[in-house]
Structure 1
Amino acid sequence: MNVLLVGSGGREHALAWKLAQSPLLTELHAAPGNPGISALGSCHPVAADDGEAILGLARSHGIDLVVVGPEAPLVAGLADELRRNGIHLFGPGREAAAIEGSKRFAKEVMRAAGVPTAAELPKPAAPCVLKADGLAAGKGVVVCRSQAAVDAGLAELAAFPGPLVVEELLEGPEVSVFALCDGVRAVALSAAQDFKRAYDGDEGPNTGGMGSYAPVPGIDRGELERLVDLTCRPVLAELAARGAPFIGTLFAGLMLTADGPRVLEYNCRFGDPETQSLLPLVDGDLLQALAAAAAGDLTGVTLGQLPAAAVTVVLAARDYPARGDSGSEITGIEEAERAGALVFHAGTARCGERLVSNGGRVLDVTSVAGDLAAARAGAYAACDLISWQGMRRRDDIALAASRREPRSPGAGGARLGP
């Protein structure tokens, strides 16, 4: 099977790494890819949002399946354009991708599907949460516990086009749930937790994510299926009833409140950096599963989970998320890989023979071990081997979870911690 992977970040490198393990794979192509992906397949200088060029690439290389990583091309309708031209694709069409592209649309779908979520408020007043309606690269949410925070949040979100959504402020730990969908059926992948804030202790501005881990202590397979039943399968049914079947990865961001799980948001793709922790734990042929979903029939498809844990630490530019970094030489990746880590390229480039920084989140360092504590230790030991001028990281990724014994959650799941 010839596969074209669309995207250029750490999530796409992790997908390429997992897809390359499939015995079904003949050729792997990426548009545009990155230096890490280039070690696994052929990268082409085609932008992820250039539908015409991606269609031409798919035709010229006899592509059997296109896998789209980032959300923006999906929300813009890339999947529809390719499917109209006979190209099989894993990823939702424009109407279904609006579950991420518009917070207002997602709220409407959740109400119709009976999915528990935060209540909308008529006006911004503390305490509340302000959200940009459209895509914001993980940065369009402001938690407001005071009127001063509301005023600052309104000013910050004025930079994003479209209306605002104002919600009640919920309390509790967050968890991300992922399911592969064929338009009707959903196959649960796993649960993960990510770390959105820039600095230790969940301080600082929101980012695209500074690290992640999987699995989440307390969420066993039975609890995972319950969460997918509660948050994913009703949305699948509602979108199908609207004539917008969802084919792709449905990613539900939940808060586990004292009153039970509440959906904070939906995403229409694999998470970043959650994917970098999820995929190393998948026991099975991911390519076979994605192809089955794209064909509209996941019947009989199962993906197991290895009895292990994974922790991913993001290595970022000094001023991220305000600014990225470019041109700084990176050293130590080979040493980190020899130490047993997986190093996924998120924002790198080649400058002659040198590997240099080229973004805000530059590398994702993942370690897999028997438990979270060992995986965390391995990830940070590998991070210590990598350097470039201005590199920074959070030092508390999975710290609390690695100190906690796994246990089953209560009826509302409220005692699950970060």
Structure 2
Amino acid sequence: MKILVIGSGGREHAICWKLAQSPQVRKIYCAPGNAGTAEVAENVAIDVMDIEALRVFVEHQKIDLTIVGPEKPLIAGIVDVFEARGLRIFGPSKEPAQLEGSKVFSKRLMKDAGVPTADFEVFDDPQRAREYLAQARFPIVVKADGEAAGKGVVVAQDYAEAETAVRQMMEERVFGASGERIVIEECLSGPEASVLAFVDGETVRPMIAIQDHKRIGEGDTGPNTGGMGAYAPVRVAPQSVVDEVTRRIIEPTVAAIRATGIPYRGVLYAGVMLTEKGPYCIEFNCRFGDPEAQVALMLLESDLASICQAVVDVELDKVPVVFSQRAAVTVVMASGGYPGPYETGVPMTGLEAAQKLDALAIFHAGTKRDEDGQLVTNGGRVLAVTATGETFAEAKERAYAGVGLVRFDGAYFRRDIGWQA
């Protein structure tokens, strides 16, 4: 079986790494990939948004299955293009992918489906948004409608902070067209968790609950990032909570999408707030999270290739989806200055020594080989050092032992991943 994985981050390296363990898989390509994916796959220099070039490559190489990592090509409709040519591809088509592509679409669908979510209003006029905020209770949440790499959300503590968010999103267009409309919603309180599920349009198979760390600073302070680390299991989200999220949030959403005539197939990621009234859905993503994928795939005991094929064939009820009862922790090592401006091309050392540690894997995100073959940084989030253990403490100790062996100038990482555990 030949598989193409689309993407270049730590999530895609983890997907390739897990696929390489399948006896069904004889060849993996990754487009465009990074220095880590090159160790388990053949990198292909095609941009994730060059859908036509990806289609041509898949047809020419007779790829059996394509797996899409990032959200942008899914939101742009890559699945629709591939399926129109009879090509097998894992991920939701364009319309269901609007669960992530449009906060307005997502919130309205949740409301219609009876999914518990924060009360909200939609605005396409900044002045009307300001008038609403003048009468609002704080704190309050301001969200850009469109995709913003996980950064288009502001939890405003007062009117001034909320008004600034409205101005930046709608008038200054810091997120481009994604800020043409905004959602303003009540601020829920409680611990957060991510519950991801494999979905074939009919069957839902939830993964373990995972908790990630979005903010750059320790103690969950500072600006949001793409994610600075994650861990499982989550003490406040045992299997009973996962079951409740599946029943009250994921399954009704899948049913509502199926009723439109275009079933959801792929990974559906529910970001939930565990409130006093039970789990509420904050947002949906239409793919594996990053760095949640690194944790989930380290603990997945079943064959990922079989699961992805079953999703495409609407046979998910026929394959096992089993996760280890061990703990896993992933720590993201980032370039100095991230999520602001940062330097690239910085040489890296120590990975070989770190990878010799027990129950540890290093997933590359922003890395490449320079002209001399030296491993150098090539992004904001550089590596996700991931380890498992019989206990959370053991997994965390192993992950940070690995981090301690890796060196590059300006390297930054949070030292408190899993502090809520």
TM bin, normalised by shorter chain, reads: over 0.9
Q: Deviation string for 1:199-238 (max 9, x for gaps)?
A: 1011110110000001212433343222111111111110
- Within the candidate set 151, 167, 170, 2:163 is matched to 151
CA contact (8 A) 2:29 2:43 kept: yes
User: How far does the alpha carbon of each residue in 1:162-186 deviate from its partner, in whole angstroms, 9 at most, with x for none?
Assistant: 2110000111110000110111111
Aligned residues: 401
Alpha-carbon distance in structure 2 between the residues aligned to 1:398 and 1:17: 24
SS in 2 for 1:136: coil
- Are residues 1:369 and 2:384 paired? no
The alignment's C-alpha RMSD in Å is 1.2
- Which deviates further from its counterpart, 217-226 or 36-45? 217-226
Alpha-carbon contact 1:90-1:293 (below 8 Å) kept: yes
Question: Relative to structure 2, which stretch is displaced further, 96-105 or 333-342?
Answer: 333-342
In structure 1, C-alpha distance between the alignment counterparts of 2:241 and 2:209, rounded to whole Å: 10
Normalising by the residue count of structure 1, what TM-score does the alignment of the two structures yield? 0.94
CA offset at residue 303 of structure 1?
A: 1.2
Q: What corresponds to 2:365 in structure 1?
A: 346
Q: Which residue of 1 aligns with 2:190?
A: 172
Alpha-carbon distance between aligned partners in 2 of 1:65 and 1:101, rounded to the nearest angstrom = 24
Q: Distance in 2 between matches of 1:145 and 1:95?
A: 34
Moved over 6 A (4+): none
- The whole-number CA distance in structure 2 between the counterparts of 1:376 and 1:156 is 38
Specify the alignment match of 2:126 in structure 1.
none
Q: Structure 1 residue 41 and structure 2 residue 44: aligned?
A: no
Q: Determine whether 1:207 maps to 2:207.
A: no
Once residues 271 and 95 of structure 1 are traced to their aligned partners in structure 2, the CA distance between those partners, rounded to angstroms, is 20
Q: Once the 2 structures are TM-superposed, how far is the Cα of residue 297 of structure 1 from its aligned partner? A: 2.0
Secondary structure of 2:120 counterpart = coil
Q: Which residue of 1 aligns with 2:415?
A: 395
Corresponding residue SS for 2:18: helix
Q: Work out whether residues 209 and 238 of structure 2, in 8 Å CA contact, stay in contact via their aligned partners in 1.
A: no
Partners of 2:386 and 2:168 in 1: how far apart? 33
- Aligned-residue offset at 1:271: 0.3
Alpha-carbon distance, 1:393 to partner? 0.7
User: Which amino acid is the alignment partner of residue 69 of structure 2?
Assistant: G
Partner of 2:125: none
Q: Which ranges in structure 2 are unaligned for 5 or more consecutive residues?
A: 123-131
Q: Distance in 2 between matches of 1:193 and 1:156?
A: 29
For structure 1, which segment, 320-329 or 127-136, has the greater mean C-alpha deviation from structure 2 after superposition? 320-329
Q: Is 2:255 the partner of 1:243?
A: no
Instruction: Give SS of 2:97's match.
Output: helix
The 1:147/1:171 distance shift into structure 2, 3 A limit, reads same
Aligned equivalents of 1:145 and 1:226: distance in 2? 30
- Identify the residue that residue 184 of structure 1 maps to in structure 2: 202
Structure 2 CA distance for aligned equivalents of residues 181 and 307 of structure 1: 22
Q: TM-score, normalized by length of structure 2? A: 0.93
| One-letter code aligned to 2:77 | G
What are the superposed Cα offsets for residues 5-51 of structure 1, whole Å, 9 maximum, x if unpaired?
Answer: 00000000001111111111121111111111111111100011111
Please list the CA deviations of residues 31-90 of structure 1 after superposition, one character each: whole Å capped at 9, or x if unmatched. Answer: 111111111111100011111111111112111110000000000001100111111111
Maintained 8 Å contact 1:121/1:168? no
Distance 1:369 1:4, change over 3 A: same
**Of 147, 150, 166, the match for 1:135:** 147
Map of 1:412 onto structure 2: none
Which residues of structure 1 form unaligned runs of 5+?
402-418
State which drifts further: 41-50 or 117-126: 117-126
Amino acid at match of 1:186: V
Q: Judge conservation of contact 1:9–1:33 (CA < 8 Å) in 2.
A: yes
CA contact (8 A) 1:65 1:88 kept: yes
5 Å-filtered alignment, 1:29-178, equals 29-121=29-121, 123-124=132-133, 125=136, 126-157=138-169, 158-160=173-175, 161=177, 162-178=180-196
CA deviations 1:395-415 (Å, max 9, x no partner) are 1100230xxxxxxxxxxxxxx
- Give the structure 2 partner of residue 259 of structure 1: 277
Aligned position for 1:407: none
Matches within 5 A, 1:8-23: 8-23=8-23
What CA deviation, in whole Å up to 9, does each residue of 1:279-318 have, x standing for no partner?
1111111110111101122122221111201000000011
Give 2:349's match in structure 1, choosing from 318, 327, 331: 331
Equivalent residue number for residue 322 of structure 2: 304
